[in-house]
DNA sequence: ACCTGAACACCGTTCAAGT
DNA sequence: ACCTGAACACCGTTCAAGT
């Protein structure tokens, strides 16, 4: 029983099967994928660079839902904010995959091109060249950090039953159900507003605590 | 060869060994730990709730380096910023552990007590009760998201050699070496300033785009 | 080129047997 | 209570053999 006339497997089907397993069970294994695909475990290795390769495919698949068109919006802050929301929404669609995906970054060309667009956008908007990576990386940190909150929603903010954290419990109860979304929007809004201000006021060179209004926050060293 | 007069193992030694393996090799396994500890694999299970239990111990160990004293600082924004920096520094000390640790949150009482202190701090500062969790969660997202950047520093921002991302490459070169730190500081500064402003101006109820100054950024729906 | 069957080293976990 | 030795099911990966 050797090579079939037409290939039984392809990366598409492999990726879909793996993502289905992750969505349902929080993880995948090559043998389980093979069983679902009706194939021997070893067959998968003819199409994919092992387990790590499957994870990379998952990363690309999930990231493909990011709407690159957002970066064509103007002005630049509308573009970056919409991009960040789309980025996070792509991860939010597969919360159980998030721990698998955040361990290492997306290297797919389609995503690197988005970085390129973002860099061009920020450069055109007037950001100093040496700050552009920090802006992109900061925004991405907010996106990924907020995404982690979606991965374990129940346990993330489980409050001890012994009443040892009354004020936190109170705040948690008052916060309502959309906590993760609210935190993301708060951080995103803060980030965009800060960048807008720095751009307008040319404040990039300002030393800490020079008194414009309450900038000196603490141990900056 | 049964039970020894004095126990060979304890959680301390197990945790230290696991963390050493993670620091050196990026991962650990129960058999490898046992070998280093000079003990049978099964022995570890008498002290720890399996592999998941070891990970929880790692979480606690790493989190124990967070300086809870920062939350006693005043004013509230100095406290929160110092806490965030200490939080991130604790993770930064073990970058290869970060993917293991961010998959699920810290449930150790010592850390939950820090949430409690933060909640009290923000309440006393005058934050509306229903926004306090969003402030804490937003700050934590920035901390954890920035920490992920430390886990894979080389590959995180590897630029394709084919010249397909010239502006991004340019920005990367101009950004210098402390990229991850700069991004974290930028996001943290933005977050603290935004919270300060909202507190002072009572802006929490403001609808998006009501014109204060360019707040309406995009697809908020 | 692609699938199979068998093999290998390794893993997490359990458990009866010892003290 | 704690350590051992043996066992079990499962995993990732490789490879020669087939077409």
DSSP A81-143: HHHHHHHHHHHHTSGGGHHHHHTS----HHHHHHHHHHHHHHHHHT--GGGHHHHHHHHHHHH
The DSSP string of A140-185 is: HHHHHHHHHHHHSHHHHTPPPTTSS-HHHHHHHHHH-S-HHHHHHH
Contact assignment for A120 to B81 by CB distance below 8 Å? no
What is the rounded CA–CA span in Å between residue B148 and residue B142?
10
pLDDT tens digits, A109-153: 888 999 999 999 999 999 999 999 999 999 999 999 999 999 876
| Mean pLDDT over each residue of chain A, to the nearest integer | 90
The protein residue nearest nucleotide D6, judged by CA to C1', is B42
A2 CA, D19 C1': Å apart:
4
B113/B91 Cα distance (integer angstroms): 19
Contacts of B149 in chain A (CB under 8 A): 137, 140-141
Give the CA-to-C1' distance from B6 to C19 in angstroms: 12
Q: Is B149 in Cβ contact with A141 (below 8 Å)?
A: yes
CB–CB of A133 and B78 under 8 A?
no
First to last CA, chain A: 67
Tell me B46's DSSP state.
T
Token pair, residue B36, equals 């280093």
The CB density around residue A206, as the number of other CB atoms within 10 Å, is 13
Q: Where is pLDDT greater, at A219 or A109?
A: A109
| Contact between residue B99 and residue A102 where contact means Cβ atoms under 8 Å apart | yes
Mean pLDDT on B141-157: 86
Confidence of residue A205 (pLDDT cuts 50, 70, 90): low
- Answer whether B44's CB lies under 8 Å from B9's CB: yes
**CB contacts < 8 A (A, B):** 266
Residue of higher predicted confidence among B107 and B114: B114
pLDDT score recorded for residue A214: 38
Q: What is the mean pLDDT of residues A69-80?
A: 98
Distance separating alpha carbons of residues B64 and B68, to the nearest angstrom: 9
**Residue A210 pLDDT more than 80?**
no
A64-92: average pLDDT: 98
The architecture (CATH level 2) of B66-205 comes to: Orthogonal Bundle (1.10)
Structure tokens at A51: 């387990």
Cβ neighbors of B70 (< 8 A, separation 6 or more) are: B79, B82, B83, B85, B86
Report the pLDDT value the prediction gives residue A106, as an integer from 0 to 100: 80
Where residue A221 falls among pLDDT bands split at 50, 70, 90? very low
- Enter the DSSP assignment of A47: T
Neighbours of B78 (CB within 10 A): 16
- List the single residue in B102, B151, B165 with the smallest CB-CB distance to A112: B165
Residues B16, A89: Cα–Cα separation, whole Å: 38
Longest dimension (CA), chain B: 77
Q: Which residues of B129-167 are buried (b: 16+ CB within 10 A; e: fewer)?
A: bebbbbbbbbbbbbbbbbbbbbbbeeebbebeeeeebeb
> What's the CA dihedral at A9, A12, A17, A19 to 10 degrees?
150
Strands (E), B40-167: none
**Average of per-residue pLDDT across A152-171:** 84
Q: Which residue has the higher pLDDT, B159 or B137?
A: B137
Residues of B in contact with A192 (CB under 8 A): 217
d(CA A152, CA B106): 11
pLDDT greater than 80 at residue A219: no
B210 vs B219: CA distance, rounded Å: 14
Cα(B60)–Cα(B54) distance, integer angstroms: 10
On the CB side of A31, CA atoms within 13 Å amount to: 0
End-to-end Cα spacing for chain B: 67
- Do the chains contact at A164 and B112, CB–CB below 8 Å? yes
**In Å, what is the separation between the CA of B97 and the C1' of C12?**
20
Contacts of B164 (CB under 8 A, 6+ apart): A109, A112, A113, A116
Cα(A8)–Cα(A34) distance, rounded to whole angstroms? 11
Specify the pLDDT at position A103.
Answer: 85
- Which residue ranges make up each domain of chain B? 66-205
Beta carbons of A36 and A21 less than 8 angstroms apart = yes
pLDDT digit string, tens, across residues B42-88: 999 999 999 999 999 999 999 999 999 999 999 999 999 999 999 99
């Amino acid at each position: 029983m050797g090579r079939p006339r037409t290939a039984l497997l392809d990366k598409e089907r492999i990726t879909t099967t793996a993502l289905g397993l992750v969505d349902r069970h929080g993880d995948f294994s090559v043998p389980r994928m093979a069983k679902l695909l009706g194939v021997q475990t070893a067959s998968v290795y003819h199409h994919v660079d092992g387990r790590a390769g499957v994870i990379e495919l998952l990363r690309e698949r999930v990231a493909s839902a990011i709407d690159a068109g957002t970066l064509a919006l103007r002005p630049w802050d509308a573009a970056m904010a919409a991009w960040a929301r789309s980025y996070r929404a792509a991860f939010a669609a597969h919360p159980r995959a998030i721990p698998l995906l955040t361990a290492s970054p997306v290297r797919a060309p389609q995503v690197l091109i988005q970085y390129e667009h973002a860099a061009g956008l920020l450069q055109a908007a007037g950001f100093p060249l040496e700050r552009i990576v920090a802006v992109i990386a900061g925004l991405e940190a907010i996106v990924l950090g907020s995404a982690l909150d979606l991965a374990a929603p129940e346990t993330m903010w489980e409050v001890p039953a012994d009443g040892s954290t009354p004020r936190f419990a109170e705040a948690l109860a008052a916060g309502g159900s959309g906590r993760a979304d609210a935190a993301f929007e708060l951080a995103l809004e803060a980030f965009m507003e800060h960048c807008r201000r720095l751009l307008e006021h040319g404040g990039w060179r300002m030393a800490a605590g020079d008194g414009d209004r309450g900038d000196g926050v603490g141990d900056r060293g």
